[in-house]
A and B are shown apart, each in its own frame.
Chain A
Amino acid sequence: DQQVKQNSPSLSVQEGRISILNCDYTNSMFDYFLWYKKYPAEGPTFLISISSIKDKNEDGRFTVFLNKSAKHLSLHIVPSQPGDSAVYFCAARDSGTYKYIFGTGTRLKVLA
């Protein structure tokens, strides 16, 4: 039972354009949502997070949107840069157990 889903395994975007990565979840007990970026042979690196009481959080080129009624969140990267090419994981924290549940990841490739 996949509680956090990233349905697009890969995405290619032209440099300078917007990258939109999507994530869906099923558990209404999640209170924090996080995005991590992962390069090969490295551990995931925290990118941005959002509390379940908010619907948007912005940090530089990165913005996360949360739609609680749809149980959907998205990460927008604009403008996309070749260095953004990596695997992006969506994660959610269960407010009851404080466990983090990760999606399967989306591989983003930004083309120069």
Chain B
Amino acid sequence: GAGVSQTPSNKVTEKGKYVELRCDPISGHTALYWYRQSLGQGPEFLIYFQGTGAADDSGLPNDRFFAVRPEGSVSTLKIQRTERGDSAVYLCASSPLAGAKGNEQFFGPGTRLTVL
């Protein structure tokens, strides 16, 4: 079956612009996570959805970052007024179960964002 997909695979933008990154989780997966990975670091938690609602958005670095999952499936990570420091690989992961029962996560290939 299809895994987690992310589009675009690469995005180059200019400082100050707005970008949207899309994640298509595995069908039927309840939980969806966004992470950011900078060079030489591990994935850094951004936000976690259970169904349509954001269960925990404490990892979003500031109010320029926002994510939605309106129908409990596809999610979009939105970044306003991009800065050079936002350059990283943005990873999405989904899990068949949420909360205490969730364990294994399935990751997408990531979107590499470059802000010039």
Residues of A within 8 A of B (CB): 4, 6, 32, 34, 36, 41-46, 49, 89, 91, 93, 95, 97-105
Contacts and interface: CB of A to CB of B under 8 A. Distances in A.
Contacts of B55: 98
A41 B109 contact: yes
A95 B109 CA distance: 27
A55 B104 CA distance: 18
A43 B91 contact: yes
A-B pairs with the 3 shortest C-beta distances? A43-B107, A102-B42, A102-B43
A4 B44 CA distance: 11
B107 A103 contact: no
Given A34-B104, A98-B56, A104-B41, A42 B109 contact: yes
B8 interface: no
B15 to A, nearest CB: 25
Nearest to A9: B40
A6 B40 CA distance: 12
Interface residues of B, number: 28
Contacts of A105: 41-42
A6 B43 CA distance: 13
A13 B2 CA distance: 34
B40 A104 contact: yes
A43 B93 contact: yes
Nearest to B4: A43
Interface in B1-26: 4
B52 interface: no
Contacts of B103: 32, 34, 49, 93
Given A32-B103, A98-B55, A43 B44 contact: no
B56 A100 contact: no
B99 interface: yes
Contacts of A95: 100
A99 B91 contact: no
